[in-house]
Chains A and B, each alone.
Chain A
Protein backbone atom coordinates (compact mmCIF):
# COMPACT_ATOMS: atom_id res chain seq x y z
CA UNK A 1 0.00 0.00 0.00
CA UNK A 2 1.69 3.15 -1.15
CA UNK A 3 0.94 6.66 -0.03
CA UNK A 4 -0.24 8.67 -3.01
CA UNK A 5 -0.33 12.48 -3.11
CA UNK A 6 -4.11 12.22 -2.86
CA UNK A 7 -3.72 11.06 0.73
CA UNK A 8 -1.79 14.19 1.60
CA UNK A 9 -4.45 16.31 -0.09
CA UNK A 10 -7.19 14.58 1.89
CA UNK A 11 -5.27 15.22 5.11
CA UNK A 12 -4.76 18.85 4.07
CA UNK A 13 -8.52 19.16 3.47
CA UNK A 14 -9.21 17.83 6.98
CA UNK A 15 -6.74 20.30 8.49
CA UNK A 16 -8.25 23.15 6.47
CA UNK A 17 -11.75 22.32 7.69
CA UNK A 18 -10.52 22.23 11.30
CA UNK A 19 -9.00 25.67 10.69
CA UNK A 20 -12.31 26.94 9.34
CA UNK A 21 -14.01 25.58 12.45
CA UNK A 22 -11.56 27.35 14.73
CA UNK A 23 -12.10 30.60 12.85
CA UNK A 24 -15.88 30.32 13.19
CA UNK A 25 -16.18 28.90 16.70
CA UNK A 26 -13.57 30.72 18.78
CA UNK A 27 -13.79 34.30 19.97
CA UNK A 28 -10.20 34.85 21.03
CA UNK A 29 -8.45 36.94 18.38
CA UNK A 30 -5.18 35.05 18.88
CA UNK A 31 -6.74 31.62 18.42
CA UNK A 32 -8.61 32.85 15.35
CA UNK A 33 -5.29 34.05 13.98
CA UNK A 34 -3.71 30.66 14.66
CA UNK A 35 -6.59 29.06 12.74
CA UNK A 36 -5.71 31.19 9.73
CA UNK A 37 -2.12 29.95 10.01
CA UNK A 38 -3.39 26.37 10.12
CA UNK A 39 -5.41 26.92 6.94
CA UNK A 40 -2.35 28.40 5.18
CA UNK A 41 -0.29 25.38 6.23
CA UNK A 42 -2.91 22.98 4.91
CA UNK A 43 -2.85 24.73 1.54
CA UNK A 44 0.96 24.57 1.53
CA UNK A 45 0.79 20.82 2.01
CA UNK A 46 -1.57 20.62 -0.96
CA UNK A 47 0.89 22.59 -3.09
CA UNK A 48 3.78 20.28 -2.26
CA UNK A 49 1.71 17.14 -2.87
CA UNK A 50 0.47 18.47 -6.21
CA UNK A 51 4.00 19.42 -7.23
CA UNK A 52 5.14 15.89 -6.51
CA UNK A 53 2.20 14.44 -8.44
CA UNK A 54 3.05 16.53 -11.50
CA UNK A 55 6.79 16.17 -11.11
CA UNK A 56 7.42 19.92 -11.12
CA UNK A 57 9.20 22.14 -8.63
CA UNK A 58 6.76 25.08 -8.91
CA UNK A 59 4.65 23.65 -6.11
CA UNK A 60 7.49 24.20 -3.68
CA UNK A 61 8.06 27.71 -5.03
CA UNK A 62 4.41 28.53 -4.38
CA UNK A 63 4.89 27.34 -0.80
CA UNK A 64 7.82 29.74 -0.40
CA UNK A 65 5.71 32.68 -1.59
CA UNK A 66 2.80 31.69 0.65
CA UNK A 67 5.19 31.55 3.59
CA UNK A 68 6.47 35.07 2.89
CA UNK A 69 2.94 36.46 2.67
CA UNK A 70 1.98 34.60 5.86
CA UNK A 71 4.97 36.03 7.68
CA UNK A 72 4.00 39.58 6.65
CA UNK A 73 0.43 38.85 7.71
CA UNK A 74 1.54 37.59 11.13
CA UNK A 75 3.65 40.69 11.75
CA UNK A 76 0.88 43.16 10.91
CA UNK A 77 -1.92 41.11 12.49
CA UNK A 78 -0.17 40.62 15.81
CA UNK A 79 0.76 44.31 15.89
CA UNK A 80 -2.92 45.15 15.41
CA UNK A 81 -3.97 42.71 18.14
CA UNK A 82 -1.46 44.21 20.58
CA UNK A 83 -2.54 47.76 19.70
CA UNK A 84 -6.20 46.86 20.22
CA UNK A 85 -5.38 45.16 23.49
CA UNK A 86 -3.50 48.17 24.81
CA UNK A 87 -6.50 50.39 24.12
CA UNK A 88 -9.41 48.10 25.01
CA UNK A 89 -7.81 45.61 27.44
CA UNK A 90 -9.37 42.64 25.69
CA UNK A 91 -8.51 40.18 22.95
CA UNK A 92 -12.05 38.91 22.49
CA UNK A 93 -13.60 39.92 19.20
CA UNK A 94 -17.07 39.94 20.72
CA UNK A 95 -16.28 42.98 22.85
CA UNK A 96 -14.88 44.99 19.94
CA UNK A 97 -18.25 46.24 18.81
CA UNK A 98 -17.37 49.90 18.29
CA UNK A 99 -18.76 49.91 14.75
CA UNK A 100 -22.17 48.63 15.84
CA UNK A 101 -24.49 51.61 15.27
Chain B
Protein backbone atom coordinates (compact mmCIF):
# COMPACT_ATOMS: atom_id res chain seq x y z
CA UNK B 1 0.00 0.00 0.00
CA UNK B 2 2.85 2.33 0.88
CA UNK B 3 4.58 1.37 -2.34
CA UNK B 4 1.45 2.16 -4.35
CA UNK B 5 1.13 5.61 -2.79
CA UNK B 6 4.85 6.29 -3.32
CA UNK B 7 4.62 5.11 -6.92
CA UNK B 8 1.65 7.33 -7.76
CA UNK B 9 3.04 10.46 -6.10
CA UNK B 10 6.53 10.18 -7.52
CA UNK B 11 5.44 8.96 -10.94
CA UNK B 12 3.43 12.17 -11.28
CA UNK B 13 6.43 14.15 -9.99
CA UNK B 14 8.80 12.41 -12.43
CA UNK B 15 6.58 12.97 -15.45
CA UNK B 16 5.91 16.58 -14.43
CA UNK B 17 9.66 17.18 -14.07
CA UNK B 18 10.43 15.59 -17.42
CA UNK B 19 7.75 17.56 -19.27
CA UNK B 20 8.76 20.82 -17.63
CA UNK B 21 12.37 20.08 -18.62
CA UNK B 22 11.39 19.79 -22.27
CA UNK B 23 8.92 22.68 -22.10
CA UNK B 24 10.73 25.35 -20.09
CA UNK B 25 12.14 28.27 -22.04
CA UNK B 26 14.82 29.01 -19.48
CA UNK B 27 17.56 26.32 -19.22
CA UNK B 28 17.70 26.77 -15.43
CA UNK B 29 14.08 25.63 -15.14
CA UNK B 30 14.93 22.72 -17.41
CA UNK B 31 17.72 21.72 -15.03
CA UNK B 32 15.36 21.99 -12.03
CA UNK B 33 12.78 19.78 -13.75
CA UNK B 34 15.43 17.20 -14.55
CA UNK B 35 16.59 17.29 -10.93
CA UNK B 36 13.03 16.58 -9.73
CA UNK B 37 12.84 13.62 -12.11
CA UNK B 38 16.16 12.25 -10.87
CA UNK B 39 15.10 12.48 -7.23
CA UNK B 40 11.86 10.67 -8.06
CA UNK B 41 13.82 7.93 -9.80
CA UNK B 42 15.98 7.63 -6.67
CA UNK B 43 12.78 7.04 -4.68
CA UNK B 44 11.82 4.30 -7.14
CA UNK B 45 15.21 2.67 -6.63
CA UNK B 46 14.57 2.60 -2.89
CA UNK B 47 11.16 1.01 -3.33
CA UNK B 48 12.76 -1.58 -5.62
CA UNK B 49 15.23 -2.51 -2.91
CA UNK B 50 18.25 -0.90 -4.58
CA UNK B 51 19.36 1.31 -1.70
CA UNK B 52 22.97 1.68 -2.76
CA UNK B 53 21.98 2.65 -6.29
CA UNK B 54 19.56 5.21 -4.87
CA UNK B 55 22.33 6.82 -2.86
CA UNK B 56 24.62 6.83 -5.89
CA UNK B 57 21.82 8.35 -7.98
CA UNK B 58 21.34 11.23 -5.56
CA UNK B 59 25.06 11.86 -5.13
CA UNK B 60 26.19 11.56 -8.75
CA UNK B 61 23.18 12.64 -10.82
CA UNK B 62 21.21 15.02 -8.63
CA UNK B 63 24.42 16.27 -7.06
CA UNK B 64 27.43 16.27 -9.34
CA UNK B 65 25.99 16.10 -12.83
CA UNK B 66 23.28 18.69 -12.24
CA UNK B 67 25.77 21.02 -10.56
CA UNK B 68 27.95 20.72 -13.64
CA UNK B 69 24.96 21.49 -15.85
CA UNK B 70 24.07 24.56 -13.78
CA UNK B 71 27.68 25.77 -13.90
CA UNK B 72 27.70 25.54 -17.69
CA UNK B 73 24.30 27.26 -17.92
CA UNK B 74 25.65 30.12 -15.82
CA UNK B 75 28.85 30.18 -17.88
CA UNK B 76 27.20 30.54 -21.26
CA UNK B 77 24.47 32.91 -20.09
CA UNK B 78 20.90 32.35 -19.05
CA UNK B 79 19.40 35.68 -20.03
CA UNK B 80 19.39 34.99 -23.74
CA UNK B 81 15.84 34.62 -24.96
CA UNK B 82 15.63 31.44 -26.98
CA UNK B 83 13.66 31.85 -30.16
CA UNK B 84 11.26 29.04 -30.84
CA UNK B 85 11.22 29.33 -34.59
CA UNK B 86 11.91 26.07 -36.35
CA UNK B 87 14.07 26.26 -39.45
CA UNK B 88 13.27 22.83 -40.79
CA UNK B 89 9.72 22.83 -42.15
CA UNK B 90 8.66 19.29 -41.26
CA UNK B 91 10.71 18.85 -38.10
CA UNK B 92 7.98 19.32 -35.46
CA UNK B 93 5.23 17.16 -37.03
CA UNK B 94 7.81 14.52 -37.89
CA UNK B 95 9.17 14.57 -34.34
CA UNK B 96 5.70 14.19 -32.80
CA UNK B 97 4.84 11.37 -35.21
CA UNK B 98 8.12 9.63 -34.35
CA UNK B 99 7.38 9.99 -30.63
CA UNK B 100 3.94 8.43 -31.05
CA UNK B 101 5.35 5.62 -33.18
CA UNK B 102 8.12 4.96 -30.69
CA UNK B 103 5.72 4.94 -27.75
CA UNK B 104 3.44 2.51 -29.56
CA UNK B 105 6.42 0.30 -30.35
CA UNK B 106 7.51 0.27 -26.73
CA UNK B 107 3.98 -0.59 -25.61
CA UNK B 108 3.71 -3.44 -28.09
CA UNK B 109 7.14 -4.77 -27.16
CA UNK B 110 6.26 -4.52 -23.48
CA UNK B 111 3.22 -6.75 -23.90
CA UNK B 112 5.23 -9.84 -24.72
CA UNK B 113 7.74 -11.55 -22.49
CA UNK B 114 11.29 -11.12 -23.73
CA UNK B 115 13.08 -12.67 -20.81
CA UNK B 116 14.51 -16.07 -21.56
CA UNK B 117 16.87 -18.35 -19.73
CA UNK B 118 16.50 -17.56 -16.05
CA UNK B 119 13.08 -18.34 -14.69
CA UNK B 120 11.46 -15.32 -13.09
CA UNK B 121 11.65 -15.57 -9.33
CA UNK B 122 8.48 -13.59 -8.78
CA UNK B 123 8.73 -10.10 -7.44
CA UNK B 124 11.13 -10.98 -4.66
CA UNK B 125 12.99 -7.80 -3.77
CA UNK B 126 16.71 -8.14 -4.17
CA UNK B 127 18.56 -7.12 -1.10
CA UNK B 128 20.66 -4.44 -2.75
CA UNK B 129 23.21 -4.27 -0.02
CA UNK B 130 26.63 -2.94 -0.77
CA UNK B 131 28.11 -6.30 0.22
CA UNK B 132 26.14 -8.19 -2.43
CA UNK B 133 26.92 -5.66 -5.15
CA UNK B 134 30.58 -5.50 -4.19
CA UNK B 135 30.99 -9.27 -4.24
CA UNK B 136 29.58 -9.48 -7.74
CA UNK B 137 31.45 -6.42 -8.95
CA UNK B 138 34.89 -7.47 -7.77
CA UNK B 139 34.56 -11.13 -8.73
CA UNK B 140 32.60 -11.56 -11.95
CA UNK B 141 32.68 -8.01 -13.29
CA UNK B 142 36.22 -7.00 -12.40
CA UNK B 143 37.42 -6.37 -15.97
CA UNK B 144 34.51 -4.07 -16.94
CA UNK B 145 35.05 -2.25 -13.65
CA UNK B 146 38.70 -1.63 -14.48
CA UNK B 147 37.77 -0.53 -18.00
CA UNK B 148 35.44 2.10 -16.56
CA UNK B 149 38.38 3.52 -14.61
CA UNK B 150 40.28 3.83 -17.90
CA UNK B 151 37.23 5.44 -19.49
CA UNK B 152 37.01 8.07 -16.76
CA UNK B 153 40.70 8.91 -17.11
CA UNK B 154 40.28 9.32 -20.87
CA UNK B 155 37.22 11.55 -20.37
CA UNK B 156 39.00 13.78 -17.89
CA UNK B 157 42.05 14.05 -20.16
CA UNK B 158 39.79 14.82 -23.11
CA UNK B 159 37.99 17.61 -21.25
CA UNK B 160 41.31 19.18 -20.24
CA UNK B 161 42.60 18.88 -23.80
CA UNK B 162 39.48 20.58 -25.15
CA UNK B 163 40.03 23.49 -22.77
CA UNK B 164 43.76 23.75 -23.61
CA UNK B 165 43.77 23.61 -27.39
CA UNK B 166 41.18 26.35 -27.63
CA UNK B 167 43.51 28.70 -25.74
CA UNK B 168 46.48 27.87 -27.94
CA UNK B 169 44.53 28.67 -31.08
CA UNK B 170 43.38 31.97 -29.64
CA UNK B 171 46.99 33.02 -29.07
CA UNK B 172 48.05 32.30 -32.63
Known: A31-B30, A54-B120, A55-B122. A91 touches B76 (CB 8 A): yes
Q: How many residues of A contact B (CB 8 A)?
A: 75
Count, A-B residue pairs, CB within 8 A: 215
Q: How many angstroms between the C-alpha atoms of A2 and B5 in the bound complex? A: 10
For A72-101 the 0/1 string (1 means CB < 8 A from B) is 111110111111011100011010000000
Determine the distance from Cα of A20 to Cα of B18 in the docked complex, in whole angstroms.
11
Q: Which A residues lie within 8 Å of B95 (CB)?
A: 21, 24-25
Are A13 and B103 closer than 8 Å at their CB atoms?
A: yes
User: In the complex, which range does the number of interface residues on chain B fall in?
Assistant: 35 or more
A15 to B60, CA, bound (A): 19
Interface of A is mostly: helix
CB within 8 Å of A: which B37-82 residues:
37-38, 41, 44-45, 47-50, 52-53, 56-57, 60-61, 64-65, 68-69, 72-73, 75-76, 82
Check B151–A38 contact: CB distance below 8 A: no
Residues facing A in B147-171 (CB within 8 A) are 148, 151-152, 154-156, 158-159, 162-163, 166
Q: Return B114 CB to nearest CB of chain A, in Å.
A: 10
B128 CB, min distance to chain A CBs, angstroms = 6
B22, A31: Cβ atoms closer than 8 Å? yes
Given A2-B3, A53-B120, A85-B76, CB of A75 within 8 Å of CB of B155: yes
Taking a contact as CB atoms under 8 Å apart, the answer to whether B15 and A15 are in contact is yes
Contact A86 B21 (CB under 8 A): no
Please indicate the chain B residues that have their CB under 8 angstroms from the CB of A82 in the complex.
72, 75-76, 163
The 6 closest A-B pairs by CB, nearest first: A55-B121, A24-B95, A72-B155, A22-B22, A79-B159, A79-B162
Known: A18-B15, A83-B163. 20 other contacts (CB 8 A): A5-B123, A13-B103, A13-B107, A13-B110, A18-B22, A19-B18, A30-B73, A35-B21, A38-B34, A41-B41, A45-B41, A52-B49, A53-B115, A55-B120, A63-B53, A67-B61, A70-B65, A78-B69, A80-B162, A94-B87
Residues on A facing B (Cβ under 8 Å): 1-11, 13-22, 24-28, 30-31, 33-35, 37-38, 41, 44-45, 48-61, 63-65, 67-76, 78-83, 85-87, 91-92, 94
